[in-house]
Structure 1
Amino acid sequence: MRFMVIVKSNDEVEAGAQPSAADLQEMGKFNEELVKAGVMLAGEGLVNSADGARIQYNGTAEARVIDGPFAETKELVAGFWILQAKDKAEVVEWMKRAPFREGEIEIRRVAEMEDFDHATPEIVEHEQKLRKQAEGN
């Protein structure tokens, strides 16, 4: 199973604060453990929301674009991991070791095609082809 670990943002990150060299080194060591264990598929930090955008859809052909920054930091994402694990409990155990001293993360299972009731064999095959093509990009 794949899981997304969402690292919540905070006021300091939104103000443009950067991690120290020591913080980057500590996170690098943790990521190395995840990679060596075969758990980490991807992981990145995100820049603050000032460079971001939100797109709102309202049931019409018109989509509304809202440029950042965004005010509610508790609703913002500062980074993420995509992890491969046997279950949520394994991800929880790994993330309890993450080098954070404050803040919050959220763990969500990534939906697989088998999770969708209306995923026909044709839809599944098409999705698999797209994934292989995306891996080559």
Structure 2
Amino acid sequence: MRDIDRAAVDAAENTDFNEIIAAMGAYNESIVNAGVFSDAAGLSDPSEGTVVDFSDDDPVATYGPYGELRELFNGFWIVDVSSQEEAVQWAKRAPLDSGSQIEVRRINGPEDFPQDNDRMQKE
């Protein structure tokens, strides 16, 4: 885990919310206009969430707020593109402040699972 870039957090907190919404709206519109938009959502404050930890035999639920956060997942975009490289190019265009990060991952599809599995056939 990485330590939070405090200067980046402070800068983001001091940015006008309307500017953030306008920049995100323009970015989202560009994804839609390019025809690659599949889904996106923002997530609620982590203090409203719950972490389920599977470290022990019985999973333990811990309800927020939590202690120091080193990494924070605020939302996501799903783009339907032909390659990891194309997804990375879209991620690089996101209107995020210095110190922010985007993780680019592929969503598994049916082709990623054994086709001879009865349960998978039902799904």
Q: Mark yes or no: TM-score above 0.5.
A: yes
Pair 1:82 & 2:78 matched = yes
What is the Cα deviation at residue 64 of structure 1?
1.2
TM-score in terms of structure 1 length? 0.69
Structure 1 residues without counterparts, runs of 5 or longer: 1-8, 128-137
Structure 2 residues without counterparts, runs of 5 or longer: none
What is the Cα deviation at residue 84 of structure 1?
0.7
In structure 1, what is the Cα distance between the partners aligned to 2:26 and 2:5? 23
Among 96, 103, 109, the alignment partner of 1:100 is 96
What is the Cα deviation at residue 121 of structure 1?
5.5
Instruction: Kindly provide the amino acid, as one letter, of the partner of residue 75 in structure 2.
Output: G
Among 33, 38, 41, the alignment partner of 1:36 is 33
Give the 3-state SS of the residue equivalent to 1:94 in structure 2: helix
TM-score in terms of structure 2 length? 0.76
1:13-92 mapped onto 2 (5 Å cutoff): 20-58=17-55, 60=57, 62-92=58-88
In structure 2, what is the Cα distance between the partners aligned to 1:18 and 1:70? 25
Match of 1:131 in 2: none
Relative to total residues, which structure has the larger strand share, 1 or 2?
1
Please tell me whether the aligned partners of residues 10 and 73 of structure 1 are also in contact (alpha carbons under 8 angstroms). Answer: no
Instruction: Kindly provide the amino acid, as one letter, of the partner of residue 106 in structure 2.
Output: R
What is the Cα deviation at residue 33 of structure 1?
1.0
What is the Cα deviation at residue 30 of structure 1?
0.7
Bigger CA drift: 62-71 or 87-96?
A: 62-71
What is the Cα deviation at residue 69 of structure 1?
2.1
In structure 2, what is the Cα distance between the partners aligned to 1:126 and 1:83? 26
In structure 2, what is the Cα distance between the partners aligned to 1:72 and 1:112? 35
Please tell me whether the aligned partners of residues 88 and 109 of structure 1 are also in contact (alpha carbons under 8 angstroms). Answer: yes
| Aligned residue pairs, count | 115
Match of 2:118 in 1: 122
